[in-house]
């Protein structure tokens, strides 16, 4: 099935869900309990999208999506706790409750996911610095918002308990805005999330921010009852975050390309102006508030300014060195996993992925298929036309195999004219046979090499785990044996024959 079609199904379901919720709010505004049920279900459903995304990914991205998934589960539980008094007593409770702790935990999990993904890609120390940047900007924004926006509006009327509630409710939109900024930083620097994933995450965060700001103004400051249309904003937010996970899975087939990228000017502004600029801004506001422009305070201000500039220069130099190291490590990793001549995965990477695939197949009860092939009469091509022509032929064969690639296939060159295609999960033998037919037909087409037309083909051996082998090396040996049997019998391909009936062509 084409993933683009599969990707539309969650989007359509989300749109239908939002339409139903909108119609309930519009036509049955008194059915507040039903509205709350819809608001509770939405984040739990979106967390299901992210669970699938986590299962499809490996490594750091799996941890990232698991943390975001847990954040949405906290959102659903918080909405449930918040709605419980409405269901049981028919009234809304404005004071702080367990729901606020769950919403705070949601923000913590989102932040942890960003920091973890950034730290995994950039290193532990840079990940910690990234976390401290988030904390610095959060403190500055929430302090300035309180002092200059909320506190003047209250005019000494606020009670202590209400003040605590305001502080907590102010935290949500401020934290949301900051997380949006740092999602962009993560995309610009780590490049582990795709552009559309970052867009979905940012728009989801923006919907949260708008809803929380609207709640802060209408409920906390004006004293109105929560507007039911707020639920639509929060539902939209969680579905956008869920769609980010869906979009992340749809881009998994994109190949890793090593690029020595230069940070854009916008990235520079977000990385340096935010953490250091807001500190300078806060320092300026303090001097204005306390009229501190005396000689001593002016000297202190200039010292702080030059310390910030010096820190930025040091950070720029560190980033330049880290970028060079990062590119070198990426290139080393690429060379360690890829064949020099063809760019396909090499034997080392193939063996590692085969072991991982077999371990996963054991856990899930799945099947793994292996196609092992070499070119017919390749030695005569080398002898007749030279090794350069033989290398060009190998490269063209690799390109043809790559054109058949799918997200369930890993194509590798083991060396010489030997290639493998690992298929996981393998549905049935018929599918593998069709793939062998397709590869055989594709590789049998004539090759135009430096004005010479060369006709060759491939002998392919097929073996399946666990049907034909008990481990990875045995599976390779069985597929290799099937390949030689196909070559001796003059066939294009053949299944390993001892543990199952021979199927050949």
Express each pLDDT in 348-357 by its tens digit. Answer: 999 999 999 9
How confident is the model over 188-195, as a mean pLDDT?
A: 68
Q: Which residues pair with 465 in a beta bridge?
A: 368
In whole angstroms, give the CA distance from residue 252 to residue 396. Answer: 25
Amino acid 166: pLDDT: 67
| Residue with the larger pLDDT of the pair 405 and 315 | 315
Q: Is the pLDDT of residue 424 over 80?
A: yes
CA separation for the pair 468, 464 (Å, rounded)? 5
| pLDDT score of 180 | 79
Does 393 have pLDDT greater than 60?
yes
Checking if the pLDDT of 124 tops 80, the result is no
Q: HEC states along 45-99?
A: HHHHHHHHHHHHCCCHHHHHHHHHHHHHHHHHHHHHHHHHHHHHHCCCCCCCCHH
For residues 91 and 48, give the distance between their C-alpha atoms in angstroms, rounded to a whole number.
Answer: 31
Question: Helix (H) and strand (E) counts for the chain?
Answer: 17, 7
Q: State the pLDDT at residue 152.
A: 67
Question: Which DSSP symbol is given to 505?
Answer: -
Question: Is there a contact between 432 and 462 (Cβ–Cβ < 8 Å)?
Answer: yes
Residue 472: how many other CB atoms lie within 10 Å: 21
Q: What is the mean pLDDT of residues 449-467?
A: 88
Instruction: Enumerate residues 6+ apart whose C-beta is below 8 A from 355.
Output: 472
Mean pLDDT for the stretch of residues 327-343? 86
Encode pLDDT of 364-380 as tens digits. Answer: 888 999 999 999 888 88
CATH number of 347-495: 3.30.70.270
pTM for this predicted structure? 0.56
Element containing residue 370 per DSSP (H, E): strand 368-375
Longest dimension (CA), the chain: 96
Residues 137-155 pLDDT 10s? 777 777 777 777 666 666 5
- Collapsing DSSP to helix, strand or coil, 406 comes out as coil
Q: Are 40 and 82 contacting, i.e. CB atoms less than 8 angstroms apart?
A: no
CATH class of 32-252: mainly alpha
The Cα 167–Cα 82 span in angstroms is 18
pLDDT on residue 9: 75
Is pLDDT larger for residue 169 or for residue 32? 32
**Confidence grade of residue 259 (pLDDT, cut at 50, 70, 90):** very low
CA distance 82 to 99: 6
Task: Write down the mean pLDDT value for the chain.
Answer: 79
Spell out the residues 6+ positions from residue 461 whose beta carbon is closer than 8 angstroms to its own: 371, 372, 373, 478, 479, 480, 481, 482, 483, 484, 485, 486, 493, 494, 495, 496
**Of 40 and 279, the one with more pLDDT:** 40
Supply the pLDDT for residue 274.
64
Of 430, 483, 426, which Cα lies nearest the Cα of 457? 483
d(CA 262, CA 89): 58
| Range from 73-77, 93-97, 157-161, 373-377 carrying the lowest mean pLDDT | 157-161
| Per-residue pLDDT at 499 | 41
Binning pLDDT at 50, 70 and 90, where does residue 323 land? confident
Long-range contacts of 376-380 (CB under 8 A, 24+ apart): 376/456, 376/457, 376/458, 376/459, 376/487, 377/456, 378/416, 378/417, 378/456
Residue 478: is its pLDDT beyond 90? yes
Q: Higher-confidence residue: 7 or 126? A: 126
φ, ψ for residue 343, nearest 5 deg: 80, 0
Average pLDDT over residues 247-266: 51
458-465 and 493-495 beta bridge pairing: parallel
- Residue among 447, 426, 448, 441 at smallest CA distance from 495: 426
Complete DSSP assignment for 254-313: SPP----PPPPHHHHIIIIIIIIIHHHHHHHHHHHHHT--SHHHHHHHHHHHHHHHHHHH
On the question of pLDDT at 95 being above 70, the answer is: no
CATH 1.20.1070 in the chain is located at: 32-252
């Amino acid at each position: 099935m084409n993933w683009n079609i599969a990707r539309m199904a969650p989007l359509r379901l989300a749109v239908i869900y939002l339409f139903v919720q909108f119609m309930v709010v519009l036509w049955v505004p008194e059915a507040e309990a039903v509205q709350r049920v819809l608001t509770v279900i939405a984040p739990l459903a979106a967390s299901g999208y992210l669970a699938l995304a986590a299962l499809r990914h490996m490594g750091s991205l799996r941890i990232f999506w698991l943390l975001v998934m847990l954040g949405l589960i906290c959102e659903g539980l918080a909405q449930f706790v918040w709605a419980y008094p409405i269901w049981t007593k028919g009234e809304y409770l404005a004071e702080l409750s367990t729901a606020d702790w769950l919403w705070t935990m949601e923000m913590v999990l989102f932040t942890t996911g960003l920091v973890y993904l950034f730290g995994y890609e950039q290193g532990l120390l840079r990940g910690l610095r990234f976390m401290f940047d988030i904390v610095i900007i959060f403190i500055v924004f929430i302090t300035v918002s309180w002092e200059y926006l909320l506190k003047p509006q209250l005019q000494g009327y606020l009670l202590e308990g209400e003040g605590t509630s305001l502080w907590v409710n102010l935290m949500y939109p401020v934290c949301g805005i900051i997380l949006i900024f740092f999602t962009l930083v993560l995309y610009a620097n780590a490049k582990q999330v795709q552009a559309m994933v970052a867009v979905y995450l940012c728009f989801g965060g923006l919907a949260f921010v708008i809803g929380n700001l609207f709640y802060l103004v209408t409920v906390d400051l004006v004293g109105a009852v929560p507007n039911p249309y707020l639920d639509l904003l929060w539902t939209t937010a969680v579905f956008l975050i869920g769609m980010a996970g869906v979009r992340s899975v749809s881009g998994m087939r994109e190949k890793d390309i090593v690029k020595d990228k230069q940070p854009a000017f916008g990235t520079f502004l977000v990385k340096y102006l935010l953490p250091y600029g807001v500190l300078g801004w806060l320092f300026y506001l303090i001097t204005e508030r306390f009229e501190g422009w005396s000689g001593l305070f002016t000297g202190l201000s200039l010292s702080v300014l030059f310390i910030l500039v010096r820190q930025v220069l040091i950070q720029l130099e560190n980033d330049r060195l880290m970028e060079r190291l990062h590119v070198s490590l990426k290139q080393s990793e690429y060379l360690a996993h890829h064949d020099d001549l063809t760019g396909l995965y090499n034997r080392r990477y193939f063996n590692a992925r085969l072991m991982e695939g077999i371990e996963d197949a054991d856990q899930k009860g799945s099947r793994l298929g292996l196609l092992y092939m070499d070119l017919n009469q390749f030695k005569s091509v080398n002898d007749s036309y030279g090794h350069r022509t033989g290398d060009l032929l190998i490269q063209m064969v690799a390109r043809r195999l790559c054109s058949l690639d799918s997200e369930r296939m890993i194509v590798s060159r083991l060396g010489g004219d030997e290639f493998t295609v690992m298929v996981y999960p393998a549905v049935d033998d018929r599918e593998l046979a069709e793939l062998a037919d397709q590869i055989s037909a594709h590789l049998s087409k004539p090759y135009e090499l430096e004005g010479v037309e060369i006709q060759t083909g491939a002998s392919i051996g097929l073996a399946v785990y666990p049907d034909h082998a008990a481990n990875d090396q045995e599976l390779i040996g069985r597929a290799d044996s099937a390949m030689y049997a196909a070559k001796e019998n003059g066939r294009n391909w053949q299944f390993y024959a001892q543990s199952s009936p021979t199927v050949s062509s």
